[in-house]
Structure 1
């Protein structure tokens, strides 16, 4: 890869240097009262070249061949301005625009025009990319804040995934953990560019009160992922100060005693606008469609940013999430007869069982420095502290006579993560070649320890819990009283439930643009070193290369191809005594992207294949509790993903997607009998499809009145753990219809949504061969939400 990179770079640079040098066009856009004008589009008339003014009103269009051009400044709702310029070889031609509107008038126009936005055409700075999504050689999908609001999404596990092709939840875990599956495996969870996974279960689901939007990156990206499954990641981007003095308060009520309120304040702490703040607060009480379950959440998220000078900005961000919920294993229902045999509201959770309390702290410090218009430095550090005190129910026995002995185990846990990043983005030209350069360093130190070694039987022999006539009152075996007198660290070490990971990584990427940036070749690589402990220790170092090509078929249509890698270190003890290898993954992807109606509507089509090697599995020839493993062999995931989203017509918005996922075992290590070549990888749906469409009346007395309709389908679903002994027990096709009505004015929005309109019995589940029973997790029957939002 290094030789190839050097060869291609030397060749292309020599071609560019021998050709005629290009110039560029740059300047600023300001309002009539002298304030910078953000989001204004500046283009060269009659070409696809252009730029969007940043928060300081600055723009740069490069590279531009020498000649005479007309520069056009446009924004919806503003008068178009045109200026003639001459571009000279090797020089920057400066041109400034002054709008006729004031800063306040521009803010009002921006607010009006950006409501109902379902598309984002630029990635967040935390993804480290400066290339527009249309030109990026990878499938990246954005879920905007307006989408979350319209669908009344209140947490990361609450319907977000309907907006992304092929994304489904890996078991439900209530509203504790999201655990997203995509492309046949669990994807990594990021927040503001940091990998915040510190155990299989985490992190705690983000409350949407402090979330701006969510970015789903399909397939690996070595410079983002560091280490992780090659299926991809999702990045939660939190709200930041905007410099506008504004606020919003929202109230939501709904089925199962849902009562929720949130407050969003955004403004200035200094008259010169250098010191800004953002404060989000939310509180929620919520029960469930199952008796005795509850989930109360409280969140506070203050952010302060300070513009030290014209080039440097410092941002401090803190988030506290408190969760007070019932036992986290109560979502499971068990039976020996099959899947979905018990009522939708069936539970084994006894009243009075102590719940689970969680404190989740995160702190960010972010520094951004612009060396000039072409080079930018970003440095950030983060500290995450998570503590959990609670329990998890799991059966001690499930009997063929429809009785069981319920068990509850301790789950006290603590997680600490310290992470740091520094990276540089550069944009320059050599001859006719444009370079978008990214280089950086990642560091992290993570630890997770838990005590789930203590257990208690809620039922006694002769007093078993009856699935036919359940009694969820006080259990005859009494409530547990776990012994926490010994420090958690000692209990976790004794139980073998201590996880530790340290890593660092360095990376370099160069995107080379040719033919006036109509074709872009991306060459990148990352070196990562990781040391971790979990059921054994492991140490790994790996280079992950990346090569991508993106070509403009038209100014709004691109085709791309990508080869990428990722790796995941593993801990364990091999029966052979050999060293445990990391999971390695290879991703090949091809696709088409198109922006319609000036980017207000987008579509993407992707074809991919992922190969994963060396994944550990329990040695079938060793005793069950030996802890010995063997390397499985190879898994292959391949499929098709199609996404469309945006504003089709004034007042008409839509999100629709479809994915076909085929994930199978393709190679099996000699001696492994637990799986066979051709076995389907569990935990996904072969076919998924989603739709959300809304329309609001634009004129007349009913202006602002609208309706929405949603649909989700999952077909050919696979159970999560073991093959089902009875083929007739396969999971049925999942069909869910949602609908809503709303009214919106300048300051008020009132919305009511009905979920699961046709009251379908919706569930997922699996079979556990080692205990010879089925488990099912049900979703809520028909339910509603009513929300009122007031902006000021």
Structure 2
């Protein structure tokens, strides 16, 4: 009994003490703002210089418990001046704090060395438009982007998940960087403004990405041979000078499992050495047959900032993809009609033992040094490597034929590929930047040099099977000629293929050993090209008027017969101008106009063999005229861009119909795209973020040796497309911490490479729910909520690329 009384007394005393302490403590609420009145997420608040601290939520809100009396609070946020203040917290008073932090100008990035300051759907400056850190509203060209905050809110994981938020960009296929920009198919991509290998199939992953941006129209004056519709640039995450760590887990439809981490901060006390480490792993199946896959990313980054004049950064990205090559959905052939629904969207061609292992590896080192008050030097070097190990049962893009040569629309012609290859890209850029004044004029002059080299080395090899079996079954014939039926072997009245046909009505995905076919082993032709370019750019300011004048002299060398004794350099050169004007009558509004040219060289195999192809031929030439307005609303929180343009591409090679020269070419083709775009990024208030875009584009063939082709819309180029995504966060009341996201995207009908096959228009709806409490964030994303059937792109009857049916993703994240 004594023990019982003692136990009760102890509980009573502890309860009394706890109650007394609670009466002497307070809960402090507050919010941290930036200079524009936006809530600053992930601001660190230290109390009384203790090691323990709290972090504001995604809207800048924070709360903590402390005792009555005087306390020192310290507020720390990347890119802002540290703020300290003593507060006397009293009982029975409203202890609510509102803190505004001032930006630290010395921390502003100049060459993508230091991490981005902004934490919203809006990005105020870009490096890709001028090779200097220039406010987007002052660049005389349309620049679109998707920030990491948008990517996080949409649980985006690969490039195609991002580009739907950019006007005028549409997928051509599932393949890496295979997009249509303003009607023109893209072939080049940049990482931090530098060229990387584009031979791979798997799309770039996004866990290490700060933002994806597109400079619209030709960008050859800055980045050498680029596409006329635009150039996609991926900006990687950079180290921050404030410790921050996050980890998230995602699961969802099609047995998706994903984990990502992002660690960053200083490595020494004086914060001259910074690091960032992004890791990601995903294992998932697909709505497509046999398209289960694994992906792994390791992306460390280090910054050395010894003083305010010098900055050095090193990035390494290791991306490994393991799966199968998805060449799209086949449907019944043309003689069977144009029914897109003749096979389900899950339908694919392949075998269980197919595989594709891809390694993308690139490293970048960059230096920025301020030589004097008016002169700075910048240099960056990127080394990129791509490695592929592939086994594939694929369509040969033809249907089976009977003994008379008639198409059998339900049997797909097949071939196999066993391939191992690598290629390497080197990209060096170096330039000086001069800033000075002459009377009323302000000058920003950039003088630079670029070197780009891509090598497809000796030793890459393939082991292929295709064609039809000869009559004796000991050799193959590449195609079937019904006028010489005695050359072929037959079964059930049909010529026998080397690789069995794929039956679209009764598909067989079982293991198939390729050694039983007649294979041909061959080395892939090695190749090499290199580019040397010098450029001059002046950004001139006179009051509210700014002019951009740029010139580039390009020397492109393609090595013919690379690695052979007959090796020869085939050089092409081009002079590329760029002009632009920006007028800012009032601070939130700027009007701009630009004229720029672009070029892409013809390959050495064509221009070096005049006996076969004719020529010599000039490079592909493009030019663009664009004008528009860039505006800011709601205290500079919301950006709106309106652009109208005309792009023309010339010197397209077409067959010359030359007697006695069947492969002879002539340079007559032309394509023209005209349109306008509207884009919106940012926030209407501190609770509502939005990104939206709309484009109208007519991209036509205007010159061709085939008169029937003139006037046709280019493949996978919708006349109109758009997207909207909005997120609203509740910051007060019972639902504090709750958020909701709603969005939709659409595209009108699109042509394919087949004149009789058109992809229908579509629109899909998306939604998301968010809940953040303290350092935890839980979200659920629902895509294609109405379960629409649609196609994002396609080649023809045997290669279409359907969009994903209704699916969901659930994520839980922790920031510490």
Name the TM tier (shorter chain).
0.7 to 0.9
Which runs of 5 or more structure 2 residues have no equivalent in the other structure? 1-32, 37-58, 62-79, 87-97, 105-115, 401-407, 470-489, 493-499, 562-567
1:776 aligned onto 2:796: no
1:134 aligned onto 2:137: yes
Are the equivalent residues in 1 in contact too, given 2:332–2:409 (CA < 8 A)? no
Give the whole-Å Cα distance in 2 for the aligned partners of 1:300 and 1:286: 18
Match of 1:759 among 787, 790, 805: 787
- Residue 570 of structure 1 is matched in structure 2 by 602
* Map 1:321-336 → 2, pairs under 5 A: 321-329=319-327, 332=330, 335-336=333-334
Give the whole-Å Cα distance in 2 for the aligned partners of 1:622 and 1:196: 41
SS of match in other structure, 2:719 = strand
SS of match in other structure, 1:308 = strand
SS of match in other structure, 1:615 = strand
Deviations 1:316-341 (A, max 9, x none): 21111111111343655564432522
* Map 1:204-353 → 2, pairs under 5 A: 204-329=202-327, 332=330, 335-336=333-334, 337=336, 338-353=338-353
SS of match in other structure, 1:701 = helix
- Residue 174 of structure 2 is matched in structure 1 by 172
Deviations 1:69-124 (A, max 9, x none): xxxxxxx999xxxxxxxxxxxxxxxxxx9875389x9999999x988601111113
Give the whole-Å Cα distance in 1 for the aligned partners of 2:536 and 2:722: 37
Give the whole-Å Cα distance in 2 for the aligned partners of 1:534 and 1:722: 33
* Map 1:336-485 → 2, pairs under 5 A: 336=334, 337=336, 338-396=338-396, 397-399=398-400, 400=408, 402-448=410-456, 451=461, 454-455=464-465, 464-475=501-512
Judged with a 3 Å threshold, the aligned counterparts in structure 2 of structure 1 residues 752 and 705 are, in CA distance, closer, same or farther, namely same
Q: CA deviation at 1:153?
A: 0.3
Deviations 1:228-262 (A, max 9, x none): 22221111000111111111101111111110101
- Residue 523 of structure 2 is matched in structure 1 by 491
1:791 aligned onto 2:789: no
Which runs of 5 or more structure 1 residues have no equivalent in the other structure? 1-38, 43-75, 79-96, 485-489
1:150 aligned onto 2:160: no
Deviations 1:323-369 (A, max 9, x none): 11113436555644325223434434445223011111111111111
| Larger CA deviation: 114-123 vs 652-661 | 114-123
- Residue 82 of structure 1 is matched in structure 2 by none
SS of match in other structure, 1:307 = strand
Match of 2:751 among 718, 725, 731: 718
SS of match in other structure, 2:151 = helix
Judged with a 3 Å threshold, the aligned counterparts in structure 2 of structure 1 residues 221 and 464 are, in CA distance, closer, same or farther, namely closer
Q: CA deviation at 1:474?
A: 3.4
Q: CA deviation at 1:712?
A: 1.0
Give the whole-Å Cα distance in 2 for the aligned partners of 1:263 and 1:229: 34
Match of 2:687 among 651, 661, 664: 651
- Residue 10 of structure 1 is matched in structure 2 by none
SS of match in other structure, 2:150 = helix
Are the equivalent residues in 2 in contact too, given 1:754–1:785 (CA < 8 A)? yes
Are the equivalent residues in 2 in contact too, given 1:124–1:237 (CA < 8 A)? no
- Residue 5 of structure 1 is matched in structure 2 by none
Judged with a 3 Å threshold, the aligned counterparts in structure 2 of structure 1 residues 115 and 231 are, in CA distance, closer, same or farther, namely closer
Deviations 1:623-681 (A, max 9, x none): 99x6543323321111111101110122111111111111112233xxx2376432322
SS of match in other structure, 1:134 = helix
Are the equivalent residues in 2 in contact too, given 1:190–1:197 (CA < 8 A)? no
Are the equivalent residues in 2 in contact too, given 1:643–1:658 (CA < 8 A)? yes
1:705 aligned onto 2:706: no
| Larger CA deviation: 594-603 vs 758-767 | 758-767
Q: CA deviation at 1:453?
A: 6.4
Deviations 1:436-476 (A, max 9, x none): 22221110111236645612589996674322232322359
Q: CA deviation at 1:534?
A: 7.8
| Larger CA deviation: 148-157 vs 591-600 | 591-600
Judged with a 3 Å threshold, the aligned counterparts in structure 2 of structure 1 residues 129 and 114 are, in CA distance, closer, same or farther, namely closer
- Residue 560 of structure 1 is matched in structure 2 by 592
Q: CA deviation at 1:395?
A: 2.3
Give the whole-Å Cα distance in 2 for the aligned partners of 1:679 and 1:587: 20
SS of match in other structure, 1:356 = strand
Give the whole-Å Cα distance in 2 for the aligned partners of 1:694 and 1:100: 30
Match of 2:576 among 541, 544, 551: 544
TM-score when normalising by structure 2: 0.76
Are the equivalent residues in 1 in contact too, given 2:197–2:386 (CA < 8 A)? no
Are the equivalent residues in 2 in contact too, given 1:765–1:775 (CA < 8 A)? no
1:666 aligned onto 2:702: yes
SS of match in other structure, 1:163 = coil
Q: What do you get for the CA RMSD once the two structures are aligned?
A: 3.3
Are the equivalent residues in 2 in contact too, given 1:148–1:160 (CA < 8 A)? yes
SS of match in other structure, 1:148 = helix
TM-score when normalising by structure 1: 0.79
- Residue 193 of structure 2 is matched in structure 1 by 193
Aligned residue pairs, count = 671
Judged with a 3 Å threshold, the aligned counterparts in structure 2 of structure 1 residues 205 and 474 are, in CA distance, closer, same or farther, namely closer
SS of match in other structure, 1:522 = strand
Give the whole-Å Cα distance in 2 for the aligned partners of 1:410 and 1:628: 32
Give the whole-Å Cα distance in 1 for the aligned partners of 2:570 and 2:221: 22
Q: CA deviation at 1:412?
A: 2.7
Q: CA deviation at 1:411?
A: 3.6
Are the equivalent residues in 2 in contact too, given 1:589–1:608 (CA < 8 A)? yes
Are the equivalent residues in 1 in contact too, given 2:221–2:597 (CA < 8 A)? no
Judged with a 3 Å threshold, the aligned counterparts in structure 2 of structure 1 residues 451 and 150 are, in CA distance, closer, same or farther, namely same
SS of match in other structure, 1:423 = strand
